[in-house]
Each structure stands twice: as structure tokens, then as C-alpha cells.
């Protein structure tokens, strides 16, 4: 890898803009310019995503449908079409593969690409990839280019929609000093409030605390923040194809403290995993798994042996994992299965 050879890494984080909703608008042009949400229409349903017209009203992914309708009475709700989204995702990943074999998909609509071995600049490659996606699918993507995964992901959200930002190695220190701590992965509303109580609004202010101070006041989370506020991230873009699990995850923009709403999201993720597992018909399922990551960045996994992927089994696992949190809100929910052997997987933990 580039880092091992002493070369500066060039990591691109590609993130499709409102992927599900953008596909619905593309396929139904009469929706153009109107607020659109994708997800269940029942009172207990949640939005899978919302387009930018709907987001102007405060609508967002994982929001209960009834709340989205309160914020935006004109919102148009469309049913989830996972097969269509999966097909489009496969087309986009095929485009990525033209530029590098080092690809780490995070979900149907985003991925990391390591283009360190390419002679072109990362910014030029990102522009070309985004243009190719637009020409071949009619969909827009945003990109972040940086020396590591964490910074690339932060940058990809900077000029959305249909934009990009590059953070060069020599710019990292200045960029991080002025960055709001809320931009760091793992810092939600409660995290911002905790840091604000310590007089911290920016990463520069966070950098004034020693590692010992942060560990004493914030525990494990403080140690992670010590590295993140300095823009440090040594994780490689992972293309490991030998893992033995298949899963889907949802990270919430704001922490969730309602078990009922978590169950609704769980049902959506379970359906995605069940469909993907069915496509791996030759694989024997060993166990079913639910993962929760809590507001303090601790996490737990509940697992049950067996192959039947019923809603009841996953709700049981969710309840077990939820109880371990002892009242803590949830920032990430994962649903998955583990297989008996080590053949190639899709969308792994």
C-alpha cells in the first residue's frame, strides 16, 4: 500500500446525493423540484431518505413519517424499491472499479476508494468519476479527497450536493483547528453538549486537552477524540473478501432513544439482509446478529444460532442489546447474519 511505501495516500470518499430519492425523481420526472421522501407511509414508518427539497423543512433519514408530514405537509412519499437501488449501486461500483481495485463499499450509496497508485491527482479523479456516474446513471455524487478515510468522509459532506472538497496533507492541521467538533464521526447532539460544557466548540479547542485529561473525563471516547481532532486515521481501505458475515447498518444523525422506532428501522434492515442472503443461496447461515453502538461510543452485539431470519428473532436480539445499554441512546443499528464458511461476502461488518 502507499503508506507502507512512504507515499502520501489519496483516499476518495464517494457519496451519492439522496440516492434512493434521487432515483425516484429520475424515474418519475414529475417529482422534480418537489419534496420527496422514501419509506413507509404508515404512522409507525420511518423515512429511509429524503431529497434536498424535503430536507429544507427538516426531514431526514430515520425520521418517523408522521413527524416528516408535520414538518412538510407537501412531502410525497414513495415506497422503497430495494432491488432498483441495488442494481444502480452495482452499476456505480462497476464505474469505481475502472479507476482502482481498492474499493470499500460502506452501503449501497457510498464507498471509499484508494487511488494512491494513480498518477492523476485525487481531485481530478474524483471529478472524472462523478462525471462518469452522472453521464451513465443520471445521478449526482459528492466526493471528499484526503490522506485518510476520516478526513475524506468529512470532506465529502462539505459541498453537497454534486460537489467535492480536497484536503491536502499540508492543509490538515489548519483544517482541523477550525473544524467544529460536531463534524467528527461519533459526535452527535449529546456529544456536542458534553463537549460544549467543557468549553469545546472546535477541534482546535479540543486539541488543548491532553490525552490523559480526555481519558479521565470522557473515557474511551476521549481517547478516540484525541486522535480524531488532529485528523489522524490509519485505517486502510479494506477489500477483505474472506469475512464470514453479511450485514446492513444505519448510523443516525441524531441519537435514538425510542425502542419502537429502532424496531421499525430494524425491519427495513432485516429485509435488506434477507434479500442479500437469499442471493447467497449456496451459503449456510450459522447465526443471526444485531449490533448497537451507543451514545458513548460503546457497542454490543447480540447473536443467536440458527438460520431462520424472522422479524421475531431480530426483535428479540434488539431487545437484548437494548437492555445492555441501560438507558443510553443509540447512534448505530446493525442487522446481519454469520455464515458457516469464508466465501466472498457483500456489505460486511
Phi, psi for 105 (deg, rounded to 5): -65, 140
User: What's the number of CA atoms in the CB half-sphere (13 Å) around residue 90?
Assistant: 8
Confidence of residue 36 (pLDDT cuts 50, 70, 90): very high
Calpha distance 108→114 (Å, rounded):
18
Name the grid cell of 332: 448505530
The overall longest dimension of the chain from CA atoms, in Å, is 57
Q: What percent of the chain has pLDDT over 90?
A: 68
pLDDT tens-digit readout, 42-98: 555 778 889 999 999 999 887 888 889 999 999 999 988 888 998 999 999 999 999
Is the overall model pTM greater than 0.75, yes or no? no
Q: List Cβ neighbours of 113 (8 Å cut-off, separation of 6 or more).
A: 11, 12, 13, 14, 96, 99, 100, 102, 103, 104, 129, 237
Between β-strands 141-146 and 11-16, what pairing exists: parallel, antiparallel or unpaired? antiparallel
- Best CA proximity match to 242, nearest among 90, 344, 129, 156: 344
Do 169 and 8 touch, CB atoms closer than 8 A?
A: yes
pLDDT digit string, tens, across residues 288-345: 999 999 988 889 999 999 888 999 999 999 999 999 999 899 989 999 999 875 433 3
- Antiparallel, parallel or unpaired: β 110-114 and 103-107: antiparallel
Helices (H), the chain: 19-27, 52-55, 65-71, 82-97, 122-137, 149-156, 172-178, 189-197, 203-206, 211-218, 220-228, 259-278, 311-324
104-108 contacts at long range (C-beta below 8 A, 24 or more positions apart): 104/237, 104/238, 104/239, 105/346, 105/347, 107/248, 107/249, 107/347, 108/19, 108/347
Rounded CA-CA distance 349/343 in Å is 15
pLDDT digits (tens, 9 = 90+) for 13-30: 999 999 999 999 999 999
pLDDT at 86: 87
Q: In this structure, what C-alpha cell is assigned to residue 15? A: 457519496
Domains and CATH numbers, the chain: 1-167 (3.30.70.270), 171-228 (1.10.150.20), 245-339 (3.30.1490.100)
Answer whether 270's CB lies under 8 Å from 247's CB.
no
Question: According to the model, what pLDDT value does residue 342 have?
Answer: 43
- Give how far Cα 200 sits from Cα of 8, 193, 195, Å: 31, 9, 5
Residue with cell string 448505530: 332
Residues with a catalytic annotation lie at 110
**287-298: buried (b, 16+ CB within 10 Å) or exposed (e) per residue?**
bbbbbbbbbbbe
Q: What band does 347 get if pLDDT is binned at 50, 70 and 90?
A: very low
Amino acid at each position: 500500500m502507499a503508506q507502507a511505501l512512504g507515499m502520501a495516500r489519496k483516499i476518495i470518499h464517494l457519496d451519492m446525493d439522496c440516492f434512493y430519492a434521487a432515483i425516484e425523481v429520475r424515474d418519475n420526472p414529475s417529482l422534480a423540484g418537489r419534496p420527496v421522501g422514501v419509506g413507509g407511509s404508515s404512522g409507525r414508518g420511518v423515512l429511509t431518505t429524503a431529497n434536498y427539497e424535503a430536507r429544507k423543512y427538516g426531514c431526514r433519514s430515520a425520521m418517523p413519517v408522521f413527524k416528516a408530514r408535520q414538518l412538510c405537509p407537501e412531502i410525497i412519499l414513495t415506497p422503497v424499491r430495494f432491488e432498483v437501488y441495488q442494481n444502480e449501486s452495482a452499476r456505480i461500483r462497476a464505474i469505481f472499479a475502472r479507476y482502482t481495485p481498492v474499493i470499500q463499499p460502506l452501503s449501497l450509496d457510498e464507498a471509499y476508494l484508494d487511488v494512491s497508485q494513480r498518477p492523476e491527482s485525487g481531485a481530478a479523479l474524483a471529478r472524472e468519476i462523478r462525471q462518469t456516474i452522472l453521464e451513465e446513471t443520471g445521478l449526482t455524487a459528492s466526493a471528499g479527497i484526503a490522506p485518510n478515510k476520516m478526513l475524506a468522509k468529512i470532506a465529502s459532506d462539505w459541498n453537497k450536493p454534486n460537489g467535492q472538497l480536497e484536503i491536502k496533507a499540508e492543509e490538515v492541521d489548519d483544517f482541523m483547528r477550525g473544524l467544529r467538533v460536531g463534524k467528527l464521526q461519533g459526535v452527535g447532539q449529546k456529544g456536542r453538549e458534553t463537549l460544549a460544557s467543557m468549553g469545546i466548540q472546535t477541534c482546535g479547542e479540543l486539541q488543548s486537552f491532553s490525552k490523559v485529561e480526555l481519558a479521565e473525563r470522557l473515557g474511551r471516547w476521549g481517547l478516540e477524540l484525541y486522535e480524531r481532532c488532529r485528523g489522524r486515521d490509519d485505517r486502510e481501505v479494506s477489500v477483505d473478501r474472506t469475512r464470514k458475515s453479511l450485514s446492513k447498518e444505519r448510523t443516525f444523525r441524531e441519537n435514538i432513544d425510542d425502542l419502537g422506532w429502532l424496531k421499525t428501522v430494524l425491519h427495513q434492515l432485516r429485509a435488506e439482509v434477507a434479500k442479500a442472503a437469499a442471493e447467497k443461496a449456496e451459503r449456510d447461515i450459522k447465526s443471526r446478529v444485531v449490533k448497537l453502538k451507543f451514545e458513548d461510543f460503546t457497542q454490543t452485539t447480540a447473536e443467536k444460532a440458527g438460520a431462520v431470519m424472522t422479524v421475531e428473532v431480530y426483535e428479540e436480539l434488539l431487545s437484548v442489546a437494548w437492555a445492555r445499554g441501560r438507558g443510553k441512546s443509540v447512534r448505530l443499528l446493525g442487522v446481519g447474519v454469520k455464515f458457516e464458511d469464508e466465501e466472498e461476502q457483500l456489505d460486511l461488518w
